[in-house]
């Protein structure tokens, strides 16, 4: 029996696919390979030197990441490492909406878990916290960070792709750097068009719960456009 090490401290990134029921039962009803492709897209750090583990269960995707994976060897701080994670989440958000018309939300937490890959076993306080943060607080298609992580990066947070929302939660702001250059505006245009297309589809189905999430996402883009344009006029 393992009595010495009960839990390990890890970073958990919890992904939730919005509108997953409709995706399985209607949109990709006869194409389970497409659903698998979408779910496995959410594997963070898969092509980096940082270790990562992925667990997929229905519409939930959990990334298990090291807390401090030999950062000194790469001349990095924890903020540098977190910025890599945040950047990948932003890229995945954009890929999901541009390729599949799918919105995702989630949480990023630091805490204790027990994980055994050979037994498909995962539990611990961090997993409960990640789930509750995603399900009760994220609400909209955003990834919010727990306070433990914010405390570790508080001196660097303004220089990262993070913003504080109206409810006080810090979230991954995929549009923080946009609309400074013409090339970035060109990147944003098809994203907005895709969201508007999905909104029109949802208007027809009267799926108000999911529809509100798309409107929130579109409004965040418009807010960031207006904010950044004021800076550069």
Give the span between the Cα atoms of 152 and 228, in whole angstroms.
Answer: 28
Domain boundary among 126, 155, 174: 174
Domain that holds residue 220: 175-233
User: What percentage of residues in the chain have a pLDDT greater than 90?
Assistant: 53
Least confident of 89-103, 104-118, 168-182: 168-182
Are both 79 and 186 inside the same structural domain?
no
Are both 43 and 109 inside the same structural domain?
yes
pTM tops 0.75, yes or no: yes
- In this prediction, residues 220-230 reach a mean pLDDT of 72
- 43-87 residue pLDDT tens: 998 887 888 999 999 889 999 999 987 776 666 889 999 999 999
Are both 33 and 125 inside the same structural domain?
yes
> Looking at the domain assignment, is residue 1 inside a domain?
no
Are both 166 and 186 inside the same structural domain?
no
- In this prediction, residues 217-229 reach a mean pLDDT of 78
Domains in the chain: how many in total?
2
Domain boundary among 142, 174, 206: 174
Domain boundary among 124, 153, 174: 174
Identify the pLDDT of residue 188. 79
- 152-179 residue pLDDT tens: 998 999 899 999 999 999 999 988 876 5
> Looking at the domain assignment, is residue 104 inside a domain?
yes
Band (pLDDT 50/70/90 cuts) for residue 222 is confident
Identify the pLDDT of residue 232. 47
Are both 113 and 153 inside the same structural domain?
yes
> Looking at the domain assignment, is residue 218 inside a domain?
yes
């Amino acid at each position: 029996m393992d009595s010495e090490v009960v839990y390990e401290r890890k970073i958990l990134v919890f992904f939730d696919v919005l509108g997953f029921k409709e995706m399985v039962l209607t949109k990709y009803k006869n194409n389970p390979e497409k659903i698998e492709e979408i779910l496995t897209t959410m594997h963070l750090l898969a092509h980096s030197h940082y270790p990562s583990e992925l667990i997929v269960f229905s519409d939930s995707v959990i990334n298990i990441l090291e807390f401090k994976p030999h950062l000194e060897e790469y001349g990095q701080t924890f903020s540098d490492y977190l910025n890599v994670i945040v950047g990948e989440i932003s890229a995945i958000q954009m890929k999901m909406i541009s390729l599949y018309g799918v919105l995702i939300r989630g949480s990023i937490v630091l805490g204790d878990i027990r994980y055994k890959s050979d037994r498909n076993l995962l539990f611990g306080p961090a997993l409960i916290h990640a789930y509750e943060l995603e399900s009760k607080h994220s609400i909209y298609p955003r990834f919010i960070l727990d306070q433990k992580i914010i405390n570790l990066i508080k001196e660097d947070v303004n220089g990262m792709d993070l913003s504080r929302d109206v409810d006080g939660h810090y979230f991954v702001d995929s549009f923080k750097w946009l609309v400074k250059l013409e090339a970035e505006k060109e990147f944003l245009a098809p994203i907005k068009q895709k969201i508007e297309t999905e909104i029109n589809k949802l208007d027809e189905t009267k799926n108000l719960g999911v529809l509100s999430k798309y409107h929130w996402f579109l409004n965040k883009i418009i807010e960031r456009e207006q904010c950044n344009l004021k800076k550069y006029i």
